[in-house]
Amino acid sequence: MPIAPPLPTKVAPHLFVILGATGDLTGRKLLPALYRLKQQGELGEQSYILGTAVDTDIDDAGFRARCRRWLAADGVKPEELGSGWCDEHVFYQTLGSGGADEYAALAKRIAALEQQFKLPENRVFYLALPPSVFPTAISRLGEAGLNTSKGWVRLVIEKPFGRDLKSAELLNDIVHQHFKESQVYRIDHYLGKETVQNLLVFRFANSLFEPLWNRDRIECVEITVAETLGVEHRGGYYETAGAMRDMIQNHLTQLLTLTAMESPSSFDAQAIRREKAKVLLSVAPIGPEDVVFGQYTQGTVDAQAVPGYREEPGVAKDSSIETFAALRLEIANWRWHGVPFLLRTGKRMPRHVSQIVISFRRPPVSLFRPFGDCEIQNNSLVITVQPDEGFDLGFEIKKPGREIALDSSRLSFRYSEMFAPLPEAYETLLQDVLIGDPTLFVSDDWVEDSWRIYTPLLERRPPVIPYAAGTWGPEQAKSLVKDLGTQWITR
């Protein structure tokens, strides 16, 4: 059985090029994460950042000044930072209007820095750009010869990866014209490395659950990603997306594939990706009766009155974009045939929670039926991803006392009770890029296979039903679970 060669444990000398370096993502996430990794000694001896953006009015000094402000805003004390790190490790090169000549100038600057610091031409290109600019930027990088080097070249792309199957295929085509798939790191920061690894260890290092993890034992699987927030300042973007594109196609489907996948042949990226892809290929077509869209109206969340979606800034007064989506699908393979998978996400829900609920079938007979209060509840396993990561096992016990009566109880485990806080998602993801571990990143076929499932639903969108902010979405969502004789379990 081929085992992937072990990954290097140390980061090699490199240049980290950020395209869109003056934007929000760089300031709030990338730079702080790189700084903290550096402080922890995780970036090796030689790690340099080259920011590049449309801005022509700043130079190295100006960019470094911004970086200092960003780090200060992230809680890094100026006296801790000093002047050294930014001055010695951070550089800036304008891309101006993003023409071919400007990419040629970028290539020259990269070569100059690599010569100055005797770097082995290991390069990361991080596209911190609006998705509309991805195709151009990728083509220009390729045309400027920046897709290869004497070292390694890695291209990092933030979601969204297309907005339907066709655009995703197009984007992948452009990527593959210039880069090999093994060079590409599609980042989905929602699933931190820890969470994914916790899930896989939980499933495959325990013998308790695997024998139960199938259609014979499981009645349904419910995956909920609920936010209490509305669209906030992202109304303009959200109007072009909606809950299906923003959450279901990526985050919830990641949780779905991690939950449903077969055991991989090993714990390396390729083996895990292969199993996740197999799950997507087995998803049966979703009928229109199995999808419910909703849009929040004004209501109350956390005891605060909040406006409806159509009153948010940047949102059309007659918008038909869904802020809630619930759907029911089936994975048509030996393990899962006939088990409903219920996916649900929404903004302005009653609470902020991301949860996978495995609801087991009830015992075939109730021995305790003749004795009064003995209705047996389904055993359940609740895997909480956010907040307060952990899991709960729900089971039945006997109430003490002379009569036989059942009661439901829970065994709970919380990572936070056992361990210190987990590292920030971006830190581990950037480190993985630098080490070359693609496990947590999204492959080209995963993106396309996922869009293949959902694109038909977006082409014949169901009606968008209003729901009051602070509720679990439209009443109609209950129709998806009504034959299960139950409510949605996460509440």
Active-site amino acid positions: 251
The residue range among 132-140, 314-322, 364-372, 449-457 that interacts with its own copies, by the rule CB under 8 A, is 364-372
Instruction: Looking at residues 19 to 78 of the shown chain, list those that interact with its own copies (rule: CB under 8 A).
Output: 42
Encoded tokens for 330: 């089936």
Verify binding: residue 370, its own copies, rule CB under 8 A: yes
Q: Which is nearer to its own copies, 152 or 204 (CB)?
A: 204
Q: Which is nearer to its own copies, 84 or 421 (CB)?
A: 421
Encoded tokens for 325: 């989506």
Q: Which is nearer to its own copies, 334 or 419 (CB)?
A: 419
Verify binding: residue 484, its own copies, rule CB under 8 A: no
> Residues 335, 415, 456, 479: which binds its own copies (CB under 8 A)?
415
Residue 111's Cα: distance from chain center in Å?
34
> Residues 274, 278, 352, 362: which binds its own copies (CB under 8 A)?
362
Residue identified by tokens 């590409």 is 184
Q: How far apart are CA 267 and CA 366, in angstroms?
A: 41
Q: How far apart are CA 137 and CA 141, in angstroms?
A: 6
Closest separation in Å from C-beta 154 to its own copies: 18
Instruction: Looking at residues 240 to 269 of the shown chain, list those that interact with its own copies (rule: CB under 8 A).
Output: 263-264, 266-267
Q: Furthest-apart CA pair in the chain: how many Å?
A: 86
Q: How far apart are CA 390 and CA 451, in angstroms?
A: 30
Instruction: Looking at residues 181 to 210 of the shown chain, list those that interact with its own copies (rule: CB under 8 A).
Output: 194, 197-198, 200-202, 204-208, 210
Residue identified by tokens 């909480």 is 384
> Residues 215, 360, 445, 486: which binds its own copies (CB under 8 A)?
360
Closest separation in Å from C-beta 403 to its own copies: 9
Q: How many residues bind its own copies (CB under 8 A)?
A: 61
Task: Name the 3-class secondary structure at 124.
Answer: strand
Q: Which is nearer to its own copies, 152 or 202 (CB)?
A: 202
Verify binding: residue 428, its own copies, rule CB under 8 A: yes
Strand blocks (E) in 25-146? 47-53, 90-94, 123-127
Give bridge partners of residue 327 from the DSSP assignment.
Answer: 291, 343
* Residues ≥6 apart with Cβ < 8 Å to 101: none
Verify binding: residue 361, its own copies, rule CB under 8 A: yes
> Residues 54, 113, 212, 465: which binds its own copies (CB under 8 A)?
212
Amino acid at 231: V
Give the CA distances from residue 152 to residues 176, 268, 436, in Å, rounded to whole numbers and listed in that order: 16, 20, 9
Give bridge partners of residue 294 from the DSSP assignment.
Answer: 324, 465
Give the CA distances from residue 139 to residues 85, 104, 108, 165, 220, in Å, rounded to whole numbers and listed in that order: 32, 12, 17, 20, 45
Residues at the contact surface with its own copies, assessed by CB under 8 A: 3, 6, 42, 194, 197-198, 200-202, 204-208, 210-212, 216-217, 263-264, 266-267, 360-363, 365-368, 370-371, 374, 376, 378-379, 393, 395-402, 404, 406-407, 409, 411-413, 415, 418-420, 422-423, 428, 431
